[in-house]
Amino acid sequence: MNPTTDLTASVPAPSGPPTTASSATAPGRSAGATAPSEGAAAPAVSARGLVKTYGRGEAAVRALAGVDVDFAAGAFTAIMGPSGSGKSTLMHCLAGLDTADAGRIELGGQQITGLNDTALTRLRRDRIGFVFQAFNLVPTLTAEQNIVLPLDLAGTPVDRAWLAEVVGILGLGDRLGHKPHELSGGQQQRVAVARALLTRPDVVFGDEPTGNLDSTTGAEVLSLLRRSAREMGQTVIMVTHDPVAASYADRVVLLEDGRLAGQISDPTPENVLAALAKLGVA
Amino acid sequence: MLTLALSQLRHQPRRYVSVLLAIIIGVTFLASALLVGSSSTASLRNSLGATYSRADLVIAPTPDAGFETREELAGAAGTSAEPGPLQDVEGVQEAYAHVVTPVGVKRPADRQGAGTWGPTTDYAQVASVPQDPSLIPEDLVVGRYPAAGSASEVVLDERTARDFGLDVGSGTFLMSGTAADAAGRKVTVVGLSEVSQDPNAIGAIQVRGDEALTVQLTADSLAAALPDDAAGGLSAEEQAAQAEIAEAMTARYAEHVLVRLEPGADRDAVAAALQDTADAEGLAVTVATPDVQAQRQMAQMTGSDVFVWVLGAFAAIALLVTALVIANTFSVLVAQRSRDLALQRALGASRRQIRGSVLAEAGIVGLAGGVLGVAVACGLVAVLVAWGATNEGFGFLTFEATSRDLIVSIAVGVLLTVIASSSAAVAATRVSPLEAMRPREDAALGNRAGVVRLVAGALLLVAGAAGLVWGAANVNLGVAVAGGAVSFVGVLMLAVLFVPAVVSVMGRAARPAGVPGRMARLNAVRNPGRTAATASALLIGTTLVAMMLTGGRTAQVQMDTIFRAEFPVDMQVGLAADGGAAERDRVAALDGVDAAALLVPTGTAEVEGGSTAVYAADSAQLREVVAGLPVGEAERLGEPGTVLVPNTVESETLTVTGPEGSRQFDTVLSASSALVPVISLEDARALGLDPGAGAGAGAGTTATGSGEAETAPQLWLQAGDGIALDGLQELNTAVAQAAGVSQEQVSGELAMRLLFTVIIDGMLMVVTALLAVSVLIALIGVANTLSLSAIERTRENSLMRALGLTRGGLRGMLALEAVLISGVAALIGSALGTVYGGFGAHTVFGEMAAGIGQSVVWPAVPWPELGLIVLVSVAAGLLASVAPSRRATRLSPVQGLATA
């Protein structure tokens, strides 16, 4: 569970272009430490020596070739890299969706490598939130049922006040009874974000959450994610290839050929683009 | 087009396994029916051929010739003592007429059961030995043929010899009469022969003797049939009647004449000469070689292949279900492939090519299924025939598969698959090329049925139901059956409306299972068309089975009721004149006897046709022993002042006269003709009967002349419930012994009632087994749909796994979905089938029931069997979910989410 649960009273509207200055401060929230060993609070997620290989023999592909990385709690971090760099694989392993061949992963202070499928499933259910690029929602359930799905799976009663809060923040009040095919792409993604936030997980993982959206709607979703990190202290880790999306984050981690290749502390679309270009050349 | 089809099949062969299995089963069924037909034809030809095989020529009556021809033919051939004109034809060495004389052979003393000729004798056919024994189709196994002129030597077939414990040198008796005490002719067995394969001889003991013996046997039977000729005491009419009997009994009928040619004779010339002679004699016969004759007879005998048609009807039902499964499977396959199809269209494939590709796929699957189905059927029937042929006397059974059988079966397989998949093929052409460009859509959510179809379905249902009810009420089977069929078609057309609704309602029961339960219910109805199609196949099978079971059980109960009404008493025993309570008690104490009542003669009554003896019995005993009385009469049975009467008495009162006066009694009416009037003992005492003084006293003084068969006391028995057909003989013997009378004094229709039950049970089992094949195919369809739907939902299932659904939860979800669909289909089918079966039973038995005063034939619902159907369907549904579950849970959420 997230260490800080204070909420802001006001509900500001989603803002436009990203600002580098943080908004209202709340106690216990850190603004993105840089090096793995720094930072006042323990990292929300950390990985040591992650290795993951796909395929066999000649067709073997080393997606992760020894990754060491920490992600600060309460921060919005982006993972970037050229295609084939292993960023999606890294996220999948960190989120307990896939198992690494070697290495250690700690999430919320608990070692998750070596857990069996049932334990991993419960981990995902109770302590992790997901926002995927597409196909986030179960088509036969309404928006509200989709939002509370992880709690339903756990059999935990829903905190109605918190639900109302989250729904309010995401502006979904009048959409709760609709099925996914009755919602626009942006609305579907917002439902997914609401679902991810509702369980107050240790980490929210996003896999190209704005990949299918137009720029305006994408900006909406990204600022919501940033607000959840800044105002609610929610740890958010997002995989993206889009420099503009990455600029919403507090920190960008760069991957290349299955290894950490650098990081950017105060990302802007320009410096992110420059960093990526350098990667591509090298 | 073909390449594409083949590549699809090669790429994902597992998706076709279920539908292939369904096709194989359907085709196997059809092919088996056809092969059984061909094999029986071939076997018959063999058997007939065997009969004629040793002769050079065969003379046989034409197909429409009657008894006279057969008699004339026998006469024209004559006997070795008195040869006929056919014998005189040049080139003919012997014209042997196959004439059989029926007799009984005495059974060994320790043999159980009743005889097939008389009580202690079995039916045998005695034929004479031709002068040329090589004409006999059956080889002599051991010993020799009877000496010429001997009337006491016989050759017996080896199976009878073994069964009866006889061998060369043994003696036995041939009885010409059927009475138990008929005199027998003693004969000695001098040889044993093979068992005959002649279809006319099946079931009979085969005996060969010299002509001298057959002549003697005819004389014996004549003597047994005609009473002793009282010296000059017969009127002209009686003499004429006797002469007729004599003529009938000495007539000889020849089914065929086997001809042996003289060495060097020209077969065709002799055949022609024989035909001329026969024509000259006015015989309606043909002369032919053995092969030709066998063929001709085949053509006559196989006119009515009822058995094959019946099997074929069940095969048609199975194939109908298969068609539904095929249609459903291919529609799901096409739906899953919409992106590929869109891509093809975008790249330039025409609609026709797309349609052709799907049909080609179907054709290949159908061809594979057809060929495999035929192979399985050949194996099945061949094994069956081989096993049958090992039984003695059935060596003629052969397996034959005509090319027509094979081609028709395969063709049906291919055509069925192609036609059933055509709607899916057309749906495939409707995929727009743009869909290749768009992001992947969610799995199809729902498709509404056309309004036309719903309206038509409703109309058919209403019209059919009306027909069914009218037909049942007016006992018109044709209208009722037509109405039922039409209404069922209507039900199937409306299935898309009510099946998902029922599944949704039943699905609420899965609520306690949490999210998996809720999702199972939602998933089961998210595509109503597909759910309805899957359930329809199972619906057909379960409705038919339930209908047969209900109909059969109702028929059993109904026939039992009717039997009971006709024969309220299981067994009746005629006691000796001094028989009484002692015998009754002994009999009542027997194991198989539930209750016994002693009836003593006590008086007479006047009924239509004269006087009849009236009996008295203890009221309590009487009530225990008489069943099946109409409602309203049964309660009054045995009350003082009443008399139980047979159905010949319809009045409300009957006057009974005893030794000391008459009294009027109120009648207790029955529907039976097998009863005698009975009053209670108290009333009998009032009329002068002294029960203590043995029945003889009462009977002797009141017997009145003609019309009375017996006035000795009787026992009426009610047999125990556990009595079965094969224990009946023992019971009869035990009862006779306990009563101190011979077995002939024991009578009753219990045997018929039991036999009927056995027959119905047997038929029901066979019919149910045949229908079970359809149910099996439908269950394969359920498995198929479920697995394909699960594949369709891979991404969604992976999403749920990512969000926290455990493997066990996913398995449960799929299992529940399968259970819901198959369970609901089975429930609806059972209910429908019971209704149809009930109406059917009323239509068939309505008249008979009315005859015993019953206005409505209520269906006897076979609850345990229906429960079994539902249970089997649910279990099969669970089984069906195993494979898809395994596949779904093995997938990691990442792999699943990445599925394109």
Residue B781 · residue B536 · CB < 8 Å? no
- Among chain A residues, the shortest Cα distance to B517 is held by A153
What is the predicted pLDDT for the residue at B116? Answer: 77
Is the model more confident about B720 or about A237? A237
How far apart are the C-alpha atoms of B279 and B285, rounded to whole Å?
A: 8
Give me the long-range contacts of B4-7 (CB less than 8 A, separation at least 24).
B4/B344, B4/B357, B5/B357, B5/B358, B5/B360, B5/B361, B5/B364, B6/B364
Residues in B touching A152 (Cβ below 8 Å):
514-515, 518
User: Which of B162-176, B695-709, B808-822 has the least mean pLDDT?
Assistant: B695-709
Terminal-to-terminal C-alpha distance of chain A: 40
**Sign of the C-alpha dihedral, residues B257, B263, B267, B273?**
negative
Tell me the pLDDT tens digit for each residue of A25-36: 433 333 443 444
Task: Give the single-character DSSP code of B351.
Answer: H
Residue B210 · residue B147 · CB < 8 Å? yes
Q: Which residue has the tokens 């063999």?
A: B46
Residue B215 · residue B176 · CB < 8 Å? no
Pairing of strands B610-617, A76-80: unpaired
Q: Predicted confidence band at B372 (pLDDT cuts at 50, 70, 90)?
A: very high
Output the pTM of the full model.
0.71
- Name the residue among A97, A117, A134 with its Cβ closest to that of B802: A97
Residues in A touching B804 (Cβ below 8 Å):
121-122, 124-126, 150, 153-154
ipTM of this complex prediction, to 2 decimal places = 0.78
Q: Within 13 A of B382's CA, how many CA atoms are on the CB side?
A: 8
Q: What are residue B663's DSSP bridge partners?
A: B656
What is the predicted pLDDT for the residue at B698? Answer: 39
- Name the residue among A125, A134, A181 with its Cβ closest to that of B804: A125
- pLDDT > 80? residue A216: yes
Task: Give the single-character DSSP code of A259.
Answer: E
Where are the alpha helices (H) located in B678-749, listed in sequence order? 681-686, 694-702, 728-739
Where are the alpha helices (H) located in B53-114, listed in sequence order? 67-77, 85-88
Q: What letters, b where the CB count within 10 A reaches 16 and e where it falls short, cover B21-49?
A: bbbbbbbbbbbbbbbbbbbbbbbbbbbbb
Residues in B touching A139 (Cβ below 8 Å):
442-443, 445, 526, 796
SS (H, E, C) B100-152: EEEEEEECCCCCCCCCCCECCEEEEEEEECCCCHHHCCCCEEEECCCCCCCCC
Question: Going by C-beta distance under 8 Å and a sequence separation of 6 or more, which residues neighbour residue B50?
Answer: B137, B197, B198, B396
| Residue among B530, B793, B803 with most chain A CBs within 10 A, to mutate | B803
Residue B764 · residue B549 · CB < 8 Å? yes
- Among chain A residues, the shortest Cα distance to B521 is held by A140
> In the A/B pair of chains, how many CB contacts fall below 8 A?
77
Say what angle helices B14-52 and B290-301 make with each other, to 10 degrees.
120
- Among chain B residues, the shortest Cα distance to A152 is held by B515
- Name the residue among B519, B803, B892 with its Cβ closest to that of A130: B803
The C-alpha of A273 sits at a distance from chain B's nearest C-alpha, in angstroms, of 27
* Helical (H) or strand (E) element with A89: helix A87-94
Residues in A touching B514 (Cβ below 8 Å):
152-153, 155
Q: How far is CA B445 from the centre of its chain?
A: 47
- Among chain A residues, the shortest Cα distance to B442 is held by A139
Interchain proximity A97–B894, CB inside 8 Å: yes
User: Which of A138-152, B25-39, B705-719 has the least mean pLDDT?
Assistant: B705-719
Q: Predicted confidence band at A57 (pLDDT cuts at 50, 70, 90)?
A: confident
Interchain proximity B514–A126, CB inside 8 Å: no
Instruction: Give SS3 for A53.
Output: strand
Interchain proximity B806–A135, CB inside 8 Å: no
What is the predicted pLDDT for the residue at A23? Answer: 39
Show the tokens assigned to B92: 């003919």
Q: What are residue B208's DSSP bridge partners?
A: B127, B155
What is the predicted pLDDT for the residue at A281? Answer: 52
Residues in A touching B796 (Cβ below 8 Å):
135, 138-139
By percentage, how much of chain B surpasses pLDDT 70?
A: 92
Residues in A touching B892 (Cβ below 8 Å):
97-98
The C-alpha of A140 sits at a distance from chain B's nearest C-alpha, in angstroms, of 7
Q: Predicted confidence band at A174 (pLDDT cuts at 50, 70, 90)?
A: very high
How far apart are the C-alpha atoms of B550 and B529, rounded to whole Å?
A: 30
* Helical (H) or strand (E) element with B200: none
Question: Going by C-beta distance under 8 Å and a sequence separation of 6 or more, which residues neighbour residue B86?
Answer: B59, B76, B77, B78, B92, B95, B257, B259, B274, B277, B278
Tell me the pLDDT tens digit for each residue of B549-568: 888 888 888 878 878 888 88
- Among chain A residues, the shortest Cα distance to B797 is held by A138
- Name the residue among B799, B806, B893 with its Cβ closest to that of A118: B806
Q: Kindly tell me the burial class for residue B138, based on how many C-beta atoms sit within 10 Å of its own C-beta (0-12, 13-18, 19 or more).
A: buried
Residues in B touching A121 (Cβ below 8 Å):
801, 804-807
Is the model more confident about B29 or about B851? B29
Residues in B touching A98 (Cβ below 8 Å):
892-894
What is the predicted pLDDT for the residue at B740? Answer: 81
**Sign of the C-alpha dihedral, residues A172, A175, A178, A181?**
negative
Which among A204, A142, A136 is positioned nearest to A167, based on CA atoms? Answer: A142
- Name the residue among B445, B804, B807 with its Cβ closest to that of A153: B804
- Among chain B residues, the shortest Cα distance to A140 is held by B522
The torsion angles phi and psi of A118, rounded to 5 degrees, stand at -65, -45
| Residue among B526, B796, B894, B895 with most chain A CBs within 10 A, to mutate | B894
* Helical (H) or strand (E) element with A117: helix A117-127
Residues in A touching B893 (Cβ below 8 Å):
97-98
The C-alpha of B893 sits at a distance from chain A's nearest C-alpha, in angstroms, of 6
What is the predicted pLDDT for the residue at B703? Answer: 39
By percentage, how much of chain A surpasses pLDDT 90?
A: 44
- DSSP characters over B492-527: HHHHHHHHHHHHHHHHGGGGGGHHHHHHHHHHHHSS
Residue B274 · residue B261 · CB < 8 Å? no
Task: Give the single-character DSSP code of A250.
Answer: S
By percentage, how much of chain B surpasses pLDDT 90?
A: 14
Instruction: Give SS3 for B663.
Output: strand
Residues in B touching A118 (Cβ below 8 Å):
806-808
Q: How many Cβ atoms sit within 10 Å of the Cβ of residue B13? A: 10
The C-alpha of A142 sits at a distance from chain B's nearest C-alpha, in angstroms, of 12
Interchain proximity B806–A124, CB inside 8 Å: no
Q: Predicted confidence band at B100 (pLDDT cuts at 50, 70, 90)?
A: confident
Is the model more confident about A109 or about B438? A109
Angle at A275 (CA atoms; ends A245, A66), nearest 5 degrees? 95
Q: Which residue has the tokens 């000391």?
A: B660
User: Which of B160-169, B235-244, B400-409 has the least mean pLDDT?
Assistant: B235-244
How far apart are the C-alpha atoms of A112 and A94, rounded to whole Å?
A: 9
Average pLDDT across chain B, whole number: 83
How far apart are the C-alpha atoms of B818 and B884, rounded to whole Å?
A: 11
Interchain proximity A153–B805, CB inside 8 Å: yes
Residues in A touching B445 (Cβ below 8 Å):
139-140, 181
Q: How far is CA B272 from CA A54, B57, B59, B77, B92, in A?
A: 90, 11, 11, 16, 12
- pLDDT > 80? residue B465: yes
Interchain proximity B796–A136, CB inside 8 Å: no
* Helical (H) or strand (E) element with B898: none
Where are the alpha helices (H) located in B281-350, listed in sequence order? 290-301, 306-336, 338-347
Torsion angle in degrees (nearest 10) through CA of B693, B694, B696, B698: 50
pLDDT average, residue stretch B171-189: 79
How far apart are the C-alpha atoms of B60 and B284, rounded to whole Å?
A: 9
Residue B37 · residue B305 · CB < 8 Å? yes
Residues in A touching B802 (Cβ below 8 Å):
97, 124, 130
Terminal-to-terminal C-alpha distance of chain B: 24
Interchain proximity B809–A153, CB inside 8 Å: yes
* Helical (H) or strand (E) element with B89: none
The C-alpha of A254 sits at a distance from chain B's nearest C-alpha, in angstroms, of 22
Q: Predicted confidence band at B700 (pLDDT cuts at 50, 70, 90)?
A: very low
Interchain proximity A150–B897, CB inside 8 Å: no
Question: Going by C-beta distance under 8 Å and a sequence separation of 6 or more, which residues neighbour residue B376?
Answer: B24, B28, B31
Q: Predicted confidence band at A18 (pLDDT cuts at 50, 70, 90)?
A: very low
What is the predicted pLDDT for the residue at A235? Answer: 93
Tell me the pLDDT tens digit for each residue of B472-530: 888 787 888 888 888 998 998 888 888 989 998 988 887 787 888 888 888 888 888 88
Q: What letters, b where the CB count within 10 A reaches 16 and e where it falls short, cover B761-774?
A: eeebeebbebbbbb
How far apart are the C-alpha atoms of B711 and B700, rounded to whole Å?
A: 8
- pLDDT > 50? residue A11: no
The C-alpha of B439 sits at a distance from chain A's nearest C-alpha, in angstroms, of 9
Q: How far is CA B876 from CA B117, B500, B799, B862, in A?
A: 51, 20, 28, 21
Which among B210, B255, B252, B261 is positioned nearest to B87, based on CA atoms? Answer: B261
Interchain proximity B804–A154, CB inside 8 Å: yes
Tell me the pLDDT tens digit for each residue of B845-882: 777 777 666 777 778 888 998 999 899 989 988 888 88
What is the predicted pLDDT for the residue at B853? Answer: 67
Residue type, A222: L
Tell me the pLDDT tens digit for each residue of B378-419: 999 999 888 888 876 677 788 888 889 999 999 999 999 999
Instruction: Give SS3 for B490.
Output: helix
How far apart are the C-alpha atoms of B822 and B825, rounded to whole Å?
A: 5
Q: How many Cβ atoms sit within 10 Å of the Cβ of residue B589? A: 10
Interchain proximity B515–A139, CB inside 8 Å: no
Is the model more confident about B561 or about B300? B561
- Name the residue among B442, B796, B803 with its Cβ closest to that of A124: B803
Q: Predicted confidence band at B302 (pLDDT cuts at 50, 70, 90)?
A: low
* Helical (H) or strand (E) element with B204: none
- pLDDT > 70? residue B754: yes
Beta strands in B398-527, from DSSP E residues, in sequence order: none
**Sign of the C-alpha dihedral, residues A248, A249, A254, A259?**
negative
Say what angle helices A117-127 and B794-803 make with each other, to 10 degrees.
80
Residue type, B385: V
Q: Kindly tell me the burial class for residue B724, based on how many C-beta atoms sit within 10 Å of its own C-beta (0-12, 13-18, 19 or more).
A: exposed
What is the predicted pLDDT for the residue at B228? Answer: 60
Residue B861 · residue B550 · CB < 8 Å? yes
The C-alpha of B805 sits at a distance from chain A's nearest C-alpha, in angstroms, of 6
